[in-house]
C-alpha cells in the first residue's frame, strides 16, 4: 500500500455502502428541496439575497449583495441596516407570537424556567438598559463569562440590542485565559455569575473574574507588569448563592441592575457589516485568536441553515442543541439561529451524567424534544454507557438528529440512528468551524440519502472542494485538503486587531482559496468525508495517516467504546501510531478480572491492520478508563501526545476532570 506525500489520507478508506434515503412522508413535508442546489448554482448571489430578504427584517433594505473587491474580506448586504436582537425577539412579539415559548431551561439541580418570546423581550430590554446605564455604547466590547443559563442568552442579545460587540468566554477557561481575551478585545464590561452547577455541586466563576482583573481588593490594578484592566464594571448574576468577594464601585448585581431598568428599549439599527461578536478559538498558544463575525451575512446563513438543515417546524418542534454558548455552535444554534426562526428550544446547564447517565434522555422525554444536535464525543460516551440507558426513556418525539464538532465515525453514526433515532430519523452530520460561522457541508433531510460518517455535500450557495498540494481538485476516491472557493455570508471578517494574521492563517496556503487546516476525502460517489485537522495527520514511513480513520477502525471493533489516536516520534518510522481506547463495560470487566490487556491490544492492532492495512497498525495501544476532555466534550489530544512522547503533561486546567491524566499515567500497564 502506498500513499503520496502530498495526500493527507489513505485512498482506499471510507468506502461506505450503507445509505438511508428519506422516507416519502418526510420528503413530502421537508423544508428543503432538491431545486435549491440548481437555483444556488445558477445565481448564487441572488439565492443568498433572497434568504436575507425572507428570513430577516431590515431597518434599511440592502441593495448590494456582495462586495468582494477587498478580498479576502467580504462585505455582504453592506448598505443594509438591521438589529440582531430585533430579529431574534421583537418581531415575533410584534407578529403575534409573544406567547410562544422561546426557552425551556433545565438547571442541573432540577430547577426550571420557561421564557416566552414576550418574556424574553422584556428581560433583554431591561438588560440593554442596564448595560447603557453602566456606560456601554454601540461598538463597545462586552465579555460574557457565564454558565449555561438563560442569562447567557439574554446577555448576548442585550449586547446586540445596543450594538455592542459580545465576546463570550467559555466558563471552563482559566482566569489567565479570560484576562487575555478581555485585554485583546479591550472589553469595558464583564458579565459573569457567582457560579454554576457542574456534576452535582456549585462551581465558582466570580473568583476567576476577580483574578483576571487583578484581584478583588484592587480590581483595576495590574497583574504583575501587565497593564491595568480595561474593565470598568462587572455585572454578576446570582445563580448558586455562594459567597463572592465584592469590589464596591465596580461590581453590580444583575438582579439589582435589571430591577432598576425599564423594560422598554428601542433596538439600535447597525450596518450589516457591523461586528456582532468576537469569539476566541480554543487550544491555541500565544496570543489568542479573536475570530469576529458581522451582523447581516452571519444572521442570514445561521437562519437559513437552522431552518433547512434541521427541517424546523417552528410551530411544533422543540429544538435542543447541547452546546455551550461559549462555543460557536452555541452562538449559531442556541442564541441566533433558533430565535431568529421563532423556535422553542431547550437549554441545559449540566452534564449528561448528572445525576444519572440517562439525564439527556430524561430531558428529551420531559420536553418532547424533536430535534437533537450534539457532538460525536457525546454520542460515543453514551454508546460506552450502553443501550439500556436510553432504552429506559421515551424518545419517540425525536424526528431529526444532528452531529457537530468533529468527524463522526460510521459505527457511532449507526448507533445514534439505531438506538436514539429508532432507525427512522434522518441524521445530519454537519461540517463547519468557528471561522465559517454557520454550517457549510451536510446532508439536507428530506433531500439527501444519508451515508454513515460522511458530511457528504456542500449546502446550496456554498462552494467547497478537496484539492491536492497544487490546489487542483482531487478525483473521486482520493484525499486532500478541504478548501472553500467562493465567499459565503457568515464567513469571518478577520482576526480582531490583526488582519495580517487573518491573511496568513487562512489565505496563504492556496492563493484565492480559504483553507483552515482540515483534511478531507471524496469517496467513489464524490461525497466528502472529513478527516480531522491536517495537524492530526501522522507521517508513518512516508505514509500520511489520518487519526480519524484509525479511530474509526478501532471503534468499529465490538470491544471498543471510544478511541483517541496520536502520533509519537519513532526513530525508525518517523512517527508511530499510539492509541488510547476505552472498552465497553462488559469487556473492561473481563480485562480487569483475568488480565487480558495484552491480548486485547494485540487483537485491536490486528483489527486495525485488517480494516486499513498493516501500515496503520498502532505501535502501542493503551486501555484507559477515560480520555481527557474539555467541558465541551472535546478530546485534548495535546495531552495524549505528551503521554505518548513521555513528556511532562501540559496544562490540564480546561479539562472537565483534571484527574483523568493522573489515572492514565498510573494505568499505563493496561496497554501494550
HEC readout, 408-448: CCHHHHHHHHHHHCCCCCCEEECECCCCCCCCCECCCCCCC
Number of H helices, E strands in the chain: 23, 30
Mean pLDDT within 161-167:
98
584 found inside a domain: yes
Mean pLDDT within 645-666:
68
Measured distance CA(30)–CA(280) in Å, rounded? 35
Q: Cell digits for 576?
A: 508511530
User: Quick one: pLDDT band at residue 217, thresholds 50, 70, 90?
Assistant: very low
Indicate the range of 120-124, 388-392, 459-463, 610-614 predicted with least confidence: 610-614
Query: Which pLDDT score is estimated for 285?
Result: 41
Query: Which pLDDT score is estimated for 150?
Result: 98
Query: Which pLDDT score is estimated for 644?
Result: 83
User: Quick one: pLDDT band at residue 649, thresholds 50, 70, 90?
Assistant: confident
Query: Which pLDDT score is estimated for 546?
Result: 76
561 found inside a domain: yes
- Higher pLDDT, residue 599 or 256: 256
Query: Which pLDDT score is estimated for 4?
Result: 36
38 found inside a domain: no
> Residue 502 half-sphere exposure, CB side, CA atoms within 13 Å?
18
Measured distance CA(143)–CA(233) in Å, rounded? 11
pLDDT at position 283 over 90: no
- Higher pLDDT, residue 368 or 214: 368
pLDDT at position 87 over 60: yes
Q: What is the pLDDT of residues 102-148, one digit of tens each?
A: 999 999 999 999 999 999 999 999 999 999 999 999 999 999 999 99
Q: What is the pLDDT of residues 536-549, one digit of tens each?
A: 777 676 666 778 87
- By the 8 A CB rule, do 174 and 221 touch? no
185 found inside a domain: no
Mean pLDDT within 523-536:
87
Query: Which pLDDT score is estimated for 218?
Result: 37
% of the chain beyond a pLDDT of 70: 89
Query: Which pLDDT score is estimated for 406?
Result: 84
Domain with 631 in it: 557-670
643 found inside a domain: yes
Mean pLDDT within 262-288:
85
- By the 8 A CB rule, do 399 and 431 touch? no
> pTM here?
0.85
Query: Which pLDDT score is estimated for 397?
Result: 98
Query: Which pLDDT score is estimated for 615?
Result: 80
65 found inside a domain: no
CATH of the domain at 643: 3.30.300.30
Contacts made by residues 362-369, CB under 8 angstroms, sequence distance 24+: 362/393, 363/106, 363/320, 364/320, 364/393, 364/395, 364/397, 364/398, 365/393, 365/394, 365/395, 365/397, 366/106, 367/104, 367/106, 367/318, 367/320, 368/318, 368/397, 369/318, 369/319, 369/320, 369/397, 369/398
Mean pLDDT within 51-74:
98
pLDDT at position 663 over 80: no
255 found inside a domain: no
Query: Which pLDDT score is estimated for 11?
Result: 42
Strand stretches in 254-399, DSSP E: 270-271, 275-280, 290-294, 318-321, 344-348, 371-374
Query: Which pLDDT score is estimated for 151?
Result: 98
Mean predicted lDDT score pLDDT of the chain: 89
pLDDT at position 669 over 60: no
pLDDT at position 655 over 70: no
Radius of gyration over every alpha carbon of the chain, rounded to an integer in angstroms: 24
- By the 8 A CB rule, do 577 and 619 touch? yes
652-to-297, 410, 642 alpha-carbon distances in Å = 37, 30, 12
Mean pLDDT within 547-559:
88
Query: Residue holding cell 428601542?
Result: 266
Which secondary structure element, helix H or strand E, spans residue 400, and what is its range?
strand 400-403
Mean pLDDT within 20-40:
96
Q: What is the pLDDT of residues 2-18, one digit of tens each?
A: 333 333 334 444 567 89
Mean pLDDT within 145-167:
98
pLDDT at position 256 over 50: yes
Give me the phi and psi of 221, to 5 degrees please.
-85, 170
Mean pLDDT within 167-190:
91
Measured distance CA(526)–CA(520) in Å, rounded? 11
Query: Which pLDDT score is estimated for 377?
Result: 83
Q: What is the pLDDT of residues 396-451, one digit of tens each?
A: 999 999 999 888 889 999 999 999 999 999 999 999 999 999 999 999 999 999 99
Mean pLDDT within 36-49:
98
Q: How many domains does the chain have?
A: 1
Amino acid at each position: 500500500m502506498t500513499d503520496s506525500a502530498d495526500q493527507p489520507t489513505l485512498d482506499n478508506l471510507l468506502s461506505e455502502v450503507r445509505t438511508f434515503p428519506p422516507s416519502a412522508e418526510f420528503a413530502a413535508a421537508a423544508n428543503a428541496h432538491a431545486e435549491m442546489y440548481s437555483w444556488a448554482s445558477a445565481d448564487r448571489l441572488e439565492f443568498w439575497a433572497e434568504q436575507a430578504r425572507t428570513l430577516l427584517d431590515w431597518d434599511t433594505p440592502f441593495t448590494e449583495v456582495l462586495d468582494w473587491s477587498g478580498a479576502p474580506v467580504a462585505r455582504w448586504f453592506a448598505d443594509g441596516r438591521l438589529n440582531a436582537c430585533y430579529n431574534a425577539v421583537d418581531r415575533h412579539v410584534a407578529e403575534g407570537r409573544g406567547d410562544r415559548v422561546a426557552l425551556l431551561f433545565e438547571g442541573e439541580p432540577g430547577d426550571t424556567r420557561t421564557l416566552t418570546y414576550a418574556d424574553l423581550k422584556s428581560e433583554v430590554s431591561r438588560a440593554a438598559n442596564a448595560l447603557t446605564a453602566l456606560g456601554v455604547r454601540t461598538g463597545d466590547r462586552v465579555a460574557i463569562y457565564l454558565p449555561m443559563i438563560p442569562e447567557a442568552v439574554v446577555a448576548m442579545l442585550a449586547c446586540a440590542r445596543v450594538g455592542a460587540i459580545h465576546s463570550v468566554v467559555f466558563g471552563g477557561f482559566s482566569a489567565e485565559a479570560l484576562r487575555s481575551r478581555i485585554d485583546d478585545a479591550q472589553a469595558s464590561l464583564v458579565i459573569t455569575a457567582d457560579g454554576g452547577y457542574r456534576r452535582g455541586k456549585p462551581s465558582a466563576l466570580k473568583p476567576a473574574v476577580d483574578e483576571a482583573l487583578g484581584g478583588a481588593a484592587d480590581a483595576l490594578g495590574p497583574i504583575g507588569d501587565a497593564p491595568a484592566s480595561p474593565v470598568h464594571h462587572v455585572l454578576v448574576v446570582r445563580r448558586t448563592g455562594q459567597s463572592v468577594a465584592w469590589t464596591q464601585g465596580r461590581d453590580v448585581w444583575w438582579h439589582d441592575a435589571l430591577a432598576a431598568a425599564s423594560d422598554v428599549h428601542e433596538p439600535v439599527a447597525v450596518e450589516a457589516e457591523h461586528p456582532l461578536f468576537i469569539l476566541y478559538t480554543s487550544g491555541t498558544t500565544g496570543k489568542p485568536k479573536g475570530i469576529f463575525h458581522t451582523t447581516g451575512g452571519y444572521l442570514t446563513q445561521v437562519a437559513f441553515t437552522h431552518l433547512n438543515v434541521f427541517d424546523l417546524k417552528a410551530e411544533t418542534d422543540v429544538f435542543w442543541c447541547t452546546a455551550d454558548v461559549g462555543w460557536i455552535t452555541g452562538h449559531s444554534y442556541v442564541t441566533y439561529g433558533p430565535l431568529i426562526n421563532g423556535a422553542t428550544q431547550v437549554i441545559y446547564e449540566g452534564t449528561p451524567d448528572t445525576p444519572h447517565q440517562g439525564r439527556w434522555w430524561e430531558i428529551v422525554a420531559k420536553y418532547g424534544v424533536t430535534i437533537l444536535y450534539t457532538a460525536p464525543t457525546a454520542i460515543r460516551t453514551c454508546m460506552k454507557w450502553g443501550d439500556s440507558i436510553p432504552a429506559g426513556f421515551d424518545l419517540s418525539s425525536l424526528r431529526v438528529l444532528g452531529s457537530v464538532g468533529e468527524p463522526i465515525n460510521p459505527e457511532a453514526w449507526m448507533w445514534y440512528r439505531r438506538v436514539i433515532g429508532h432507525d427512522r430519523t434522518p441524521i445530519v452530520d454537519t461540517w463547519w468551524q468557528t471561522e465559517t460561522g454557520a454550517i457549510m457541508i451536510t446532508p439536507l433531510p428530506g433531500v439527501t440519502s444519508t451515508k454513515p460518517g460522511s458530511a457528504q455535500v456542500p449546502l446550496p450557495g456554498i462552494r467547497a472542494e478537496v484539492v491536492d498540494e497544487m490546489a487542483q481538485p482531487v478525483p473521486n476516491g482520493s484525499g486532500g485538503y478541504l478548501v472553500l472557493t467562493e465567499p459565503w455570508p457568515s464567513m469571518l471578517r478577520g482576526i480582531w486587531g490583526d488582519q495580517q494574521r487573518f491573511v496568513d492563517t487562512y489565505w496563504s496556503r492556496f492563493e484565492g482559496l480559504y483553507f483552515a487546516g482540515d483534511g478531507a476525502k471524496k469517496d467513489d460517489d464524490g461525497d466528502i468525508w472529513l478527516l480531522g485537522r491536517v495537524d492530526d495527520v501522522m507521517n508513518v514511513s512516508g505514509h500520511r495517516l489520518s487519526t480519524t480513520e484509525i479511530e474509526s477502525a478501532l471503534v468499529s471493533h465490538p470491544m471498543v467504546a471510544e478511541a483517541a489516536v496520536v502520533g509519537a516520534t519513532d526513530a525508525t518510522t518517523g512517527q508511530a501510531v499510539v492509541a488510547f481506547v476505552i472498552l465497553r463495560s462488559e469487556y473492561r470487566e473481563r480485562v480487569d478480572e483475568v488480565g487480558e490487556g495484552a491480548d486485547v491490544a494485540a487483537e485491536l492492532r490486528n483489527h486495525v491492520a485488517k480494516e486499513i492495512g498493516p501500515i496503520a497498525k498502532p505501535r502501542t495501544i493503551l486501555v484507559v478508563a477515560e480520555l481527557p476532555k474539555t467541558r465541551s466534550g472535546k478530546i485534548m489530544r495535546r495531552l495524549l501526545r505528551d503521554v505518548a512522547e513521555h513528556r511532562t503533561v501540559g496544562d490540564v486546567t480546561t479539562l472537565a476532570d483534571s484527574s483523568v491524566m493522573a489515572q492514565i499515567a498510573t494505568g499505563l500497564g493496561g496497554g501494550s
